[in-house]
Amino acid sequence: MGIPTDLFEITAITAGKDQTLALLKSGEVLGWGGPGSGRYAPPYIDICSALKGSDGKPAYLSKPAHYSDIAAGYGLSLGVSKQKPFIWGFSQIELGNQGLVTEAPSAIEGITNISKLAAGQFIFAAIDAQASLYTWGLNVDGALGRNTAQINALPAIIPKLPPIQDVQIGDNFMLALSSDHRVYAWGNNSAGQLGLGHLRTAETPQLIALSAKIKSVAVGSTHVLAVSAEGRVYGWGSNNFGQSGSGSRPFIDSPKLISIPEKIAAVAAGTHYSLALAASGKVYAWGWNGFGQLGLGDLQSRSVPTLVSNLSGIRSIAAGEMHAIAVGKNHLLGWGNNGSNQIGKSDLRQLTPNPFLTIA
């Protein structure tokens, strides 16, 4: 396939169900794939089907410009522009005072001075300049982490949390990383994804027992990865494909160290699969591989972290539902499911990393 000749400087990437977003240094956003990519999609599009007719080329997100943060979820995406939160894509429910969401970004009312966002399928979160955490959406299994009588709740702060620097969303559960490097979890816990040593739901944030200082976390559908300040990786939650990295057990209900032969800088988690970016710029993958999302050239799942060959000098990674993204030295690369051209013009199942955008 041909590689676009335009050069872009990418500062952040994010991947959702069938969409990929890249945030440029200019503050503009490029999108590929289905709903939530910023492309026009008719009302009531089937979120379970691939987007037909996409040419694999990136689309510029419509106004506003000058975004500082982006987050891709299940057919919906969020962005921060001038500290204001925006939402676009396709929603199966009315989201508070936003009503039905479209591909044209619309402002999320009721929260201001936002620095960071996270998007799921029916639940969402935002961190403001004071490091307070807001949540909204469907409060099933205590997924919002706060007491509310509303099933579909408007944005509000979770009380009694310390200052928060990051939040990640899975299937009806959330994790928050505090400024002092501790991890809190709440919501559904059917596979031990809250890391609390049991399988009971938690309706308010609970501190996970981790002796190490955690610098980043990543959340898949029902499993979690955490990177310590020393570059070690811990995993817990569902492990039916080995995605939590701990032998053949079907689930892990408390954090367990994952053996990786290098110091790890960052992790990413998709639907039943995991990625780790080493400080050396190499990438490791493990878990479910039904669409080639491990990038290993086949469809065989792995229960231990496996080096992705021919990848080096990688600067950042992202994991969507069944596709993966990496920022390399000169290209944006993608692999895995490509049913909506979320990794450019490539095979329906791209089994190895494929460059689809030239970058600065």
User: CA 175, CA 187: separation in Å to the nearest integer?
Assistant: 9
98: phi then psi, degrees, rounded to nearest 5: -85, -20
Flag whether pLDDT at 210 surpasses 90: yes
The tens digit of pLDDT for each residue in 128-167 reads 999 999 999 999 999 999 999 888 899 999 999 999 999 9
Q: What's the confidence (pLDDT) of residue 2?
A: 39
Q: Which residue has the higher pLDDT, 88 or 39?
A: 88
The model's pLDDT over 223-232, given as tens digits with 9 standing for 90+, comes to 999 999 999 9
Question: Is residue 308 scored above 90 in pLDDT?
Answer: yes
If you average pLDDT over residues 8-37, what whole number do you get?
95
Of 109 and 306, more confident: 306
Residues found in the chain: 360
The whole-angstrom separation of Cα 318 and Cα 316 is: 7
d(CA 11, CA 22): 8
Q: What is the pLDDT of residues 250-277, one digit of tens each?
A: 999 999 999 999 999 999 999 999 999 9
Does residue 198 carry a pLDDT above 90? yes
pLDDT at 111 over 90: yes
Q: What is the pLDDT of residue 100?
A: 60
pLDDT of residue 231: 98
Taking the complete model, does pTM exceed 0.75, yes or no? yes
- List C-alpha distances in Å: 50 to 22, 65, 347: 20, 27, 14
Tell me how many helices (H) and strands (E) the chain has.
Answer: 0, 28
**CB burial of residue 123 (10 Å; 0-12, 13-18, 19+):** buried
Q: Is 89 left (phi over 0), alpha (psi -120 to 50) or beta?
A: left
d(CA 324, CA 123): 22
The sign of the dihedral angle between the CA atoms of 321, 294, 56, 318 is positive
Per-residue pLDDT at 3 exceeds 90: no
Q: Is pLDDT at 185 greater than 50 in this prediction?
A: yes
Separation CA 340–CA 201 (nearest Å): 35
289-304 mean pLDDT = 98
Q: What is the pLDDT of residues 36-82, one digit of tens each?
A: 998 865 554 554 554 555 578 898 987 888 999 999 999 999 999 99
- From the list 159, 281, 285, the residue with the least C-alpha distance to 220 is 285
42: CB partners within 8 A, 6+ apart: none
**pLDDT value at 183 more than 90:** yes
Please give the structure tokens belonging to residue 196: 């609390």
How would you classify the pairing of strands 164-169 and 264-269?
unpaired
Cross-strand bridge partners of residue 260: none
Please, are residues 326 and 314 in contact by the beta-carbon 8 Å criterion? yes
What letter does residue 95 receive in the DSSP assignment?
-
pLDDT at 248: 85
Q: What are the chain's domains?
A: 10-358 (2.130.10.30)
Q: Are 21 and 72 in contact (CB under 8 A)?
A: yes
Amino acid 37: pLDDT: 93
